[in-house]
Chains A and B, each alone.
Chain A
């Protein structure tokens, strides 16, 4: 069965500093990987996705993620965090069936300090 681990429950970053959120997955075949962001009381917004090809994926809002098969990781990065990035971030893996049954990690809450 597929699984996703987000080791950090909370992360606090100073505004303007760089950010890396960790995600490790377990899946037997080539994974379909996603990062979603959720602001308080809101739905989930897709930041970026990896299906195949270039292992460095660019997303919206200046985010990027790198797929590392050898480490079973798909870490999310941003070079300079803005206060508006404060939210909860979810990593997810899809089963590749074409229908995207997703398995989510438990989320990382990002706090941005002035």
Chain B
């Protein structure tokens, strides 16, 4: 049982580049979410989805896009990366109020 899988684990981008962080879950959970973790800030919610075709913004959505075409996948897109988006990104899927996290993607924007 793979749970929540995030790819890549590490990524370095140049300012202005675009990329997609992938997140896939095999637990058939309707709810998925993206968080970013910065030192001294804990985890902050970027976007979330309550099912295929439905997404909404969290606390820090600016600079990020999401879509949810299938139950399994919830990619996070950075259209024009900025140094302020250097962070560790966690994807989670949830069931009955319990969240299951992926191992994270460490992104550096130079």
Contact = CB atoms under 8 A, between A and B. Distances in A.
A, B in one complex = yes
Interface of A: 4, 9, 32, 34, 36, 42-44, 46, 49, 51, 90, 92, 94, 96, 98-107
Interface string B73-110: 00000000000000000101010111101111000000
A103 B48 CA distance: 13
A114 B26 CA distance: 41
A51 to B, nearest CB: 6
A101 B58 contact: yes
B42 A99 contact: no
Contacts of A34: 98-99
A99 B98 contact: no
B98 A44 contact: no
Contacts of A9: 40
Main DSSP-derived SS at the B contact region: strand
Contact of A104 (B43, B94, B98, B103): B43
A43 B42 contact: no
What 6 pairs between A and B have smallest CB-CB spacing?
A: A99-B31, A104-B42, A100-B94, A43-B103, A106-B42, A104-B43
B43 A96 contact: no
A43 B97 contact: no
Contacts of A44: 43, 90, 101
A88 to B, nearest CB: 10
A99 B103 contact: no
A99 B104 CA distance: 20
B25 interface: no
A101 B43 contact: no
A65 to B, nearest CB: 15
A100 B98 contact: yes
A51, A98, A102 — which one has the most chain B CB atoms within 10 A of its CB? A102
Interface in B1-49: 30-31, 33, 35, 40-45, 48
A101 B33 contact: yes
A94 B33 CA distance: 13
A36 to B, nearest CB: 8
